[in-house]
Structure 1
Amino acid sequence: MEEFVVLVNPEDKVLGLMEKQQAHINGLLHRAFSVFLFNNKGEMLLQKRASGKYHSPNQWTNAVCSHPRDGETYLDGARRRLKEELGIDAELSEKFSFIYKADVGGGLWEHELDHVFVGTYESEFHLNKDEVEEIRFISLENLDREIAAHPENFTEWFKIILEEYKHHF
């Protein structure tokens, strides 16, 4: 099934739809969301992207990052992907939004108006292995150390979003 992203201008005015991979090839601005989940110890959930992903496979990233569908709110899209990728429901609150552009290799770009949601989760996961290789919780201090030592193990957008997150908290 072809997936489409919602193309927007910097003010989030809809310009149209485009097939997801084509939008990433063209580097066009589109809607996205990112979810940061934490446990009760304040550790962040990371997911390792599945090996079959068409870009950034086997790299660590935040709990969920994806695109709302046409007519879907950012929050509803975030909840949908939590269910589809991690098999969970979690209470989320939107913290901020911003625009970034990142070269993700292979001639592909992430150029996104990204709405960032935060939540807490302490129960079982039911991973969709087509999407997620594995998950783990990590302290922000240890995460910073890992990224500094091995930036190639993390998605380009996650490194950008994490830095933006730190400016807001």
Structure 2
Amino acid sequence: MTADQVILLDEEGNRIGVHAKAHVHHRNTPLHLAFSCYVFDTNARLLLTRRALTKQTWPGVWTNSCCGHPLADEPIDDAVVRRLKDELGLAAVGPLELRLPRFRYRATMADGVVENEICPVFSATVDTQPTPNPAEVGEFLWLPWQDFAGSVLDGTRDVSPWCRLQVTELDGLGPDPLSWPRGHTADLPPAARLTL
């Protein structure tokens, strides 16, 4: 499988095939496997990113630190590390922690294009500054987690639809993201558990 394909899933999260990433997003986007990662510094500030204007879905929208899709034979945690390096130039990250193993969402852009993913959520800690790939990230900034979460939850900060939903769940894990409880790998969708 090449990097431009995504893993297709059934409703239970089992792998049922692959599809070209360039052609998977449309008005009837099939369910597929993805991930999100929230990167923090040692002061619990979140690395917030603005998607590049050339992105196919939600261009120019502020969102969590990093998103992506695992390759067919790639452990999902390896995929997160790969994308942190490719998108943000973060080659050294602290422990990668699974936070929301069951997160799933479906969202529709104004033009009718749909995103439809089972998307486990991870967090990581860094002590270096990112050097973003401009094809992926237009801007970035660091915000204290509680300030960021509060502004998303009260509707004063506009973010991607998946980020808004994830923040709602992550907020329930506690006020300090550096001490959130770990998710269980057994709760991941089967397609993600098979590659761990």
TM-score (norm 2): 0.78
Point out where structure 2 has 5 or more consecutive residues left out of the alignment.
Answer: 175-196
Q: Which residue of 1 aligns with 2:181?
A: none
Mapped partners of 1:107, 1:52: distance in 2? 17
Find runs of 4+ consecutive structure 1 residues off by over 3 angstroms: 144-147
How big is each residue's C-alpha offset from its partner over 1:23-62, in whole Å with a ceiling of 9 and x where there is no partner? Answer: 3212311101110111111111101111111221111111
**What residue in structure 2 maps to residue 162 of structure 1?**
167
**2:24–2:30 CA contact under 8 A, matched in 1:** yes
Return 125-134 or 99-108, whichever deviates more: 99-108
User: Using a 3 Å threshold, how does the CA distance of structure 1 residues 9 and 167 change in structure 2: closer, same or farther?
Assistant: farther
Unpaired segments ≥5 residues, structure 1: none
Partner residue, 1:67: 69
Deviation at 1:3, TM superposition (A): 1.6
Residue 79 of structure 2 corresponds to which residue in structure 1? 77
For the 8 Å contact 2:3–2:71, the answer to whether it is kept is no
List aligned pairs for 1:1-12, cutoff 5 A: 3-12=4-13
CA contact (8 A) 1:55 1:105 kept: no
One-letter code aligned to 2:117: E
Structure with bigger strand share is 1
> Any idea what SS the aligned residue of 1:134 has?
strand
Give the 3 Å change call, closer, same or farther, for CA 39–2 of structure 1 in structure 2.
closer
Q: Which residue of 2 aligns with 1:149?
A: 156
Alignment of 1:17-166 (within 5 A): 17-25=18-26, 26-88=28-90, 89-90=92-93, 91-97=95-101, 98-147=103-152, 148-151=155-158, 154-166=159-171
Which amino acid in the other structure matches residue 13 of structure 1? N
Structure 2 Cα separation of the partners of residues 146 and 122 of structure 1 = 25
Q: What is the CA–CA distance in structure 1 between the aligned matches of 2:69 and 2:164, rounded to whole Å?
A: 18
CA distance in 2, matches of 1:14, 1:145: 36
Other structure's SS at 1:164 match: helix
